[in-house]
């Protein structure tokens, strides 16, 4: 039998609920799947939407599940995921049936909670098609729930789906820094797509977010040197910093040589003033 992660949620719930809210949470029979499902749906009728904000931003709620974080969730979302955490003790078939029913009838915020819960549910391969489908969602909140601060894609997505997730985050102008495991899952195919994305954008007279270059660095060849030269000529300082970071991390001589023409940034990078995390809209 699988053990539930529910205990990790409990102190946090206690901290962010009123007495009446906690009383309602406690009143739901946790061994009754139908009661849990109804509570999942009804939660907004009993709980406020208090935003969960914890001091330690990067602390993992569940020690053996890095990247699963609940910061900036509201109380309803947290409680819903907590309710779902009790379902893991069901048989595989039962669990699948319950979760599928919730998905099939879900409204917007329920979908967000369901996608947030995927990494605490067993049988990840069962949820994979839904998760990759969520990346196709045009509902921003649903997309965010799977793509940002969620360890499920990092662990489960095949390369093609992973790359789609990253590309769509960039297309939607959302911060890629919030994708869990971003730099560990860099790959050549993603870099190729991004290089053509840069070319398309530049042809259309548009910019690209400077932080995306970190995904291309190891895969840039001599043939792409001209792209970095163009980047150095940008009117935006963040592009010039990105170009400098690319050159400082590249193993190619020509790239390293290019950086020596920009001693100011070369020095600042050496002094630790700039790294990828300081670029882009990650404030």
Which residue ranges make up the site for other proteins (CB under 8 A)? 38, 41-42, 44-45, 51, 72, 76, 104-111, 137-144, 148, 172-175, 178, 281-283
**Closest approach of other proteins to the CB of residue 54, in Å:** 13
- Cβ proximity to other proteins: between 38 and 59 the closer is 38
- Cβ proximity to other proteins: between 44 and 262 the closer is 44
- Cβ proximity to other proteins: between 103 and 197 the closer is 103
**Closest approach of other proteins to the CB of residue 123, in Å:** 23
- Cβ proximity to other proteins: between 88 and 106 the closer is 106
- Cβ proximity to other proteins: between 168 and 262 the closer is 168
**Closest approach of other proteins to the CB of residue 179, in Å:** 12
**Closest approach of other proteins to the CB of residue 181, in Å:** 18
Q: Classify residue 205 by burial, with Cβ atoms within 10 Å: 0-12, 13-18, 19+.
A: exposed
d(CA 167, CA 212): 10
What sections of the chain are H helices per DSSP? 6-16, 19-27, 33-42, 75-85, 92-104, 108-117, 124-135, 140-147, 151-156, 159-171, 188-203, 225-232, 237-249, 253-259, 263-270
What sections of 47-123 are H helices per DSSP? 75-85, 92-104, 108-117
Q: How many CA atoms does the CB half-sphere of 245 hold within 13 Å?
A: 22
**Closest approach of other proteins to the CB of residue 71, in Å:** 9
- Cβ distance 12 to 61 under 8 Å? yes
- Cβ proximity to other proteins: between 74 and 250 the closer is 74
**Closest approach of other proteins to the CB of residue 255, in Å:** 30
d(CA 27, CA 246): 56
């Amino acid at each position: 039998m699988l053990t539930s992660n529910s205990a990790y949620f409990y102190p946090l719930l206690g901290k962010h609920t009123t007495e009446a809210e906690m009383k309602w949470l406690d009143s739901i029979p946790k061994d009754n799947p139908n009661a849990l499902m109804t509570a999942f749906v009804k939660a907004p009728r009993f709980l406020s939407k208090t935003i969960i904000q914890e001091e330690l931003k990067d602390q993992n709620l569940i020690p053996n599940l890095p990247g699963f974080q609940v910061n900036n969730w509201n109380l309803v979302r947290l409680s819903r995921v907590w309710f779902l955490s009790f379902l893991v003790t069901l048989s595989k078939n039962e669990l699948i049936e319950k979760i599928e029913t919730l998905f099939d009838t879900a409204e917007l915020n329920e979908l967000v909670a369901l996608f947030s819960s995927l990494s605490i549910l067993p049988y990840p391969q069962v949820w994979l098609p839904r998760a990759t489908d969520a990346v196709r969602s045009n509902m921003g909140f649903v997309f965010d729930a799977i793509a940002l601060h969620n360890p499920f894609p990092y662990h489960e997505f095949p390369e093609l789906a992973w790359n789609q997730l990253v590309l769509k985050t960039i297309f939607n102008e959302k911060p890629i820094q919030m994708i869990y495991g971003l730099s560990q899952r860099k790959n050549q195919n993603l870099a190729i797509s991004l290089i053509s994305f840069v070319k398309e954008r530049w042809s259309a007279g548009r910019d690209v977010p400077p932080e995306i270059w970190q995904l291309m660095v190891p895969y840039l060849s001599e043939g792409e040197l001209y792209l970095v030269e163009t980047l150095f000529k940008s009117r935006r300082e963040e592009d010039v910093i990105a170009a400098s970071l690319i050159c400082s991390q590249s193993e190619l001589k020509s790239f390293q040589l290019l950086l020596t023409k920009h001693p100011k940034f070369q020095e600042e990078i050496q002094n630790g003033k700039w790294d990828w995390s300081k670029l882009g809209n990650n404030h």
